[in-house]
């Protein structure tokens, strides 16, 4: 089947969604996605970030679809023509969806551990408005303790339901669904029942915002001060292939390896994620690369750089020379062969 998105055509197999077809084309035509996750069955259709305009339904029925469609749950038809980034209507809709998601989401990026790798932050950067029309009070929830490793901050949740699908599909305790309705809707009760499972930590990786964060890493560092490396170890529960986030010679965090759409390549177990923070536990492969505009690339370390001393850095870390050295990573080799170039 042939489908054309923003003027670029591609042949796809029957059953392919518009979002999947757009990802095959790649680049600017790919709609943002906050709830769809290719590795989780039944994901998508919740956030409406991925709206596109179907200008021609198919060769057999060329009528345009009157409403914007959620590309992650709309299947391609032969001859379909879709407008994504090229459509003003779509751009306006994405702005509105972003504004809607931010109605209740607290603007606490400066103190949120997800900052720098938050899909909502990226979405707001591209589609957000600088002002809000929302004058009512934001929805808040009582803090709930869901165990030693995962921090739930329900106020930040956008109800994408990915974590519920992890609980449903990766763990034994099949407890899923959103509790309550409207402003009171929440997922906490559901996921807390599956939290002891060996794969529950994957909820942190799939959460697009800072609603589920790693307690063993929280407040230790900002992600752009860490240097992510691909690493692996022999694990009898999962693939053992991870990204380790280093601060100097110390592993501060372990996550799944995320692709350009911020989806993990393979899910990892809690043992690898939370219990193996010693460098000796891992075979470090090579620096993990991120998309060009990611803040994680600040202080790019995939090529040899002259050491730069930044005056403000000194002031910010006044009296903390040890930390400054770790952030600049001058002593850390780039790869297993111990070369720095």
Note the residues at the interface with ligand SF4 (CB under 6 A).
157-163, 187, 206-209, 211-212
Which of 5, 22, 30, 33 is the binder for ligand FES (CB under 6 A)? 33
Instruction: Decide which of ligand FES, ligand SF4, none touches 206; Cβ closer than 5 to 8 Å per partner kind.
Output: ligand SF4
Stated as kind and residue range, the H or E segment containing 164 is helix 162-169
Instruction: Decide which of ligand FES, ligand SF4, none touches 207; Cβ closer than 5 to 8 Å per partner kind.
Output: ligand SF4
**Segments in 258-320 forming alpha helices (H):** 270-274, 311-316
Asked if 8 and 25 count as a contact pair (C-beta separation under 8 A), the reply is: yes
Which of 50, 163, 231, 244 is the binder for ligand FES (CB under 6 A)? 50
Asked if 227 and 330 count as a contact pair (C-beta separation under 8 A), the reply is: no
Size of the site for ligand FES (CB under 6 A): 13
Neighbours of 323 (CB within 10 A): 16
Does 272 bind ligand FES (CB under 6 A)? Our answer is no
Residue 246: phi, psi to the nearest 5?
A: -100, 145
> For the purposes of burial, counting CB atoms within 10 Å of the CB of 45, is it exposed (0-12), middle (13-18) or buried (19 or more)?
middle
Instruction: Decide which of ligand FES, ligand SF4, none touches 162; Cβ closer than 5 to 8 Å per partner kind.
Output: ligand SF4
Does 274 bind ligand FES (CB under 6 A)? Our answer is no
Does 48 bind ligand FES (CB under 6 A)? Our answer is yes
Nearer to ligand FES, 72 or 231 (CB): 72
Does 47 bind ligand FES (CB under 6 A)? Our answer is yes
Category of 44 on φ-ψ map: left (φ > 0), alpha (ψ -120 to 50) or beta: left
Task: Spell out the residues 6+ positions from residue 35 whose beta carbon is closer than 8 angstroms to its own.
Answer: 43, 44, 45, 46, 47, 49, 72, 160, 161, 162, 208
Minimum CB distance to ligand SF4, residue 163 (Å): 3
Minimum CB distance to ligand SF4, residue 85 (Å): 25
Which of 25, 70, 82, 254 is the binder for ligand FES (CB under 6 A)? 70
- List residues near ligand FES by CB under 6 A: 33-36, 44-50, 70, 72
């Amino acid at each position: 089947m042939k489908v054309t998105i923003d003027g670029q055509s591609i042949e796809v197999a029957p059953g392919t969604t518009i979002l999947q077809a757009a990802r095959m084309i790649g680049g600017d035509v790919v709609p943002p996605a906050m709830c769809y996750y290719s590795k989780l069955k039944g994901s998508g259709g919740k956030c409406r970030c991925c709206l596109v305009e179907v200008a021609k339904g198919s060769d057999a029925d060329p009528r345009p679809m009157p409403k914007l469609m959620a590309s992650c749950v709309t299947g391609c038809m032969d001859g379909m023509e879709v407008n994504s980034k090229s459509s003003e209507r779509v751009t306006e809709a994405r702005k509105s969806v972003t504004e809607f998601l931010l109605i209740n989401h607290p603007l606490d990026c400066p103190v949120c551990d997800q900052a720098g790798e938050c899909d909502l932050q990226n979405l707001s950067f591209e589609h957000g408005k600088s002002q809000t029309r929302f004058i009512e009070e934001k929805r808040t929830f009582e803090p709930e303790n869901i165990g030693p490793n995962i921090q739930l901050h329900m106020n930040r949740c956008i109800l994408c339901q990915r974590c519920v699908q992890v609980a449903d599909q990766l763990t034994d305790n099949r407890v899923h669904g959103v509790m309550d309705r409207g402003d009171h809707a929440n997922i906490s009760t559901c996921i807390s029942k599956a939290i002891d499972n060996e794969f529950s930590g994957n909820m942190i990786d799939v959460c697009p915002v800072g609603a589920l964060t790693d307690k063993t890493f929280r407040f230790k560092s900002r992600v752009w001060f860490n240097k992510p490396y691909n690493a692996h170890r022999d694990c009898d529960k999962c693939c053992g292939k991870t990204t380790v986030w280093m601060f100097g010679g110390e592993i501060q965090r372990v996550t799944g390896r995320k692709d350009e759409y911020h989806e993990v390549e393979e899910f990892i177990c809690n043992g690898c994620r939370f219990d193996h923070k010693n460098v000796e536990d891992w075979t470090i492969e090579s620096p993990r690369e991120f998309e060009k505009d990611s803040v994680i690339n600040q202080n790019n370390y995939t090529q040899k750089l002259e050491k730069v001393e930044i005056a403000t850095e000194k002031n910010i870390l006044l009296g903390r020379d040890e930390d400054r050295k770790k952030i600049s990573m001058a002593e850390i080799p780039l790869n297993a062969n111990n070369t720095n170039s």
